[in-house]
Amino acid sequence: MSRIAVLKGGRSLERQVSLRSGARVEDALERVGHEVVGIDVGFDVIERLRAAAPDAAFIALHGQDGEDGTVQELLEVLGIPYTGSGVLACLRSWDKILTKHLLLEAGLPTPEFFALAETAFEELGARDALPAIEERLSFPIVAKPATGGSALGIKFARAAADVPAALVAAFSYADRVVLERHVRGRDLAVSILDDADGPVALPIVEAVPRDEDFYDFEARYEIGRTSFVCPAELAPALTQQTHKLALATYASLGLSGFARVDLMLEEASGELFVLEANAIPGLTETSLLPQAAEAQGIGLDELIGRIVELALARGPVGAAG
Ligand SMILES: Nc1ncnc2c1ncn2[C@@H]1O[C@H](COP(=O)(O)OP(=O)(O)O)[C@@H](O)[C@H]1O
Ligand SMILES: [Mg+2]
C-alpha cells in the first residue's frame, strides 16, 4: 500500500472533467488498497503536497497546468514521483504547433497547416496572407487554438467569409492558432499504456457524431450526443497501421506511462493523419482510455493501479545528481 496524492480540478477550462476524472481515480486507488489524499490544485498545492508527503502523485488534471508540464515541474522540485509523461513530452504534446512540426520531422502524417500568432495579425498584417492560406488548404478549413483540448475554440470555416469569426473564436483560447486542412472521414483515438515490454496500443475507439456538423464541447461530454464504437470496425491491416502510427507518435513526442493519440482516417484516400496527442486523456466514465482498456480486458481499477505502479517504479524524476 502506498500513499497517493490525486491532483485534480485546478483552474483550467477542463476543471469539471478533471474533477470527474479525479473522483474515478480516487475510488479506483482505494479499491486497489492505496491510501488516497485528494488535492484540488490551487494556490496551496505545494503546502498540501508537503503535508501529505505522498509516495507518488496521480495527475488527474486536464488542460493547462496538468498537461503543459507545469505541475510535473513542481513535483520534480518536491522530489515526488508522478504518473504519466515528463515535462518535455508534456510541452511537446500540449502545443499542437510543436506537435505537428515534430510529426513532420519524424516523417509522420498530419494534416497540412499554417500556424499564426495573434501578433502576426495585430502587428504584421497577416490578414493579407489569408487568401493564400485559403487557397493552399481549400475549404472547409479548421481553425483551432494551438493549446487546449476538449474541442474548445475549434471552428470549421466553410468559406472565406467564415474565417475571421473562426479566428476570433480560436484566439479567445490561445495567442496562437492553427489553420488546418479539414480531413473528411472517421474520427479515431488510440490509447496507449506502457507495460513491462514497452508501450501497448489499446483497441481503437471511433467517435461517431450524431449530427454531422455538430462537434463541440457539449457533444464530447454529454452522453448520447456522440456514440463511441470500440473496437472501431476496421480491417485488421488498417487497425495494425493505425496502432503503428499512434505508437510512432507516442515515441516521437517522448510520451510515457499512458497517453491518447487522436487521428483522422480520410474517407476519400484511405489515409491516416495524426491530429494531436493528449498527455493526460480523460478518465471519466465516458472517456476513451477507460473504454479502450475495458475492451482489452483491463478494468478501471487495474488501469489506474498500473499507471500508479509505473510512477512508483520510476521514482522521483529530474532530481539533479
Ligand atoms: N483537420 C481536421 N479535420 C477534420 N476534423 C478535425 C480536424 N481537426 C479537428 N477535427 C475534429 O475536432 C476534434 C478535436 O480536434 P483535436 O485536434 O483533437 O483537438 P482537441 O481534442 O485538443 O480539442 C477531432 O477529434 C475531430 O473530430
Ligand atoms: Mg483531440
Domain boundaries, position 149:
113-181
Query: Is position 260 annotated as part of the catalytic site?
Result: yes
Q: Which residue has the higher pLDDT, 221 or 207?
A: 207
What does the pLDDT look like over 70-121, one tens digit per residue? 999 999 999 999 999 999 999 999 999 999 999 999 999 999 999 999 999 9
Out of 144, 159, 181, a domain closes at: 181
Ligand 1 atom, smallest distance to 278 CA: 22
Is there a single domain that holds both residue 104 and residue 213? Answer: yes
Is there a single domain that holds both residue 103 and residue 199? Answer: yes
Question: To which residue does cell 498540501 refer?
Answer: 48
Would you say 8 and 24 are in contact if contact means Cβ atoms under 8 Å apart?
Answer: no
Is there a single domain that holds both residue 104 and residue 231? Answer: yes
Listed in sequence order, the residues at least 6 apart from 197 whose beta carbon sits closer than 8 Å to its beta carbon are none
Q: Beta partners for 3?
A: 35
Q: What is the CATH number of the domain that holds 169?
A: 3.30.1490.20
Confidence of residue 126 (pLDDT cuts 50, 70, 90): very high
Is there a single domain that holds both residue 64 and residue 206? Answer: no
Cα 157 to averaged position of ligand 2 atoms, centre (Å): 18
Is there a single domain that holds both residue 247 and residue 260? Answer: yes
What does the pLDDT look like over 27-84, one tens digit per residue? 999 999 999 999 999 999 999 999 999 999 999 999 999 999 999 999 999 999 999 9
21, 69, 187, 221: the catalytic one is 221
Q: What is the CATH number of the domain that holds 63?
A: 3.40.50.20
For the chain, the C-alpha Rg in angstroms (whole number) is: 20
Is there a single domain that holds both residue 71 and residue 42? Answer: yes
Is there a single domain that holds both residue 259 and residue 280? Answer: yes
The count of domains in the chain is 3
Q: Does residue 318 sit within a domain?
A: no
What does the pLDDT look like over 212-265, one tens digit per residue? 554 454 445 455 578 899 999 999 999 999 999 999 999 999 999 999 999 999
Mutate which of 17, 103, 154, 228 for ligand 1 pocket (most atoms within 8 A of beta carbon):
154
Is there a single domain that holds both residue 38 and residue 166? Answer: no
Q: How many Cβ atoms are within 10 Å of 243's Cβ, its own excluded?
A: 18
Q: Does residue 11 sit within a domain?
A: yes
What is the average pLDDT across 149-156?
A: 85
Ligand 1 atom, smallest distance to 275 CA: 17
67, 187, 194, 262: the catalytic one is 262
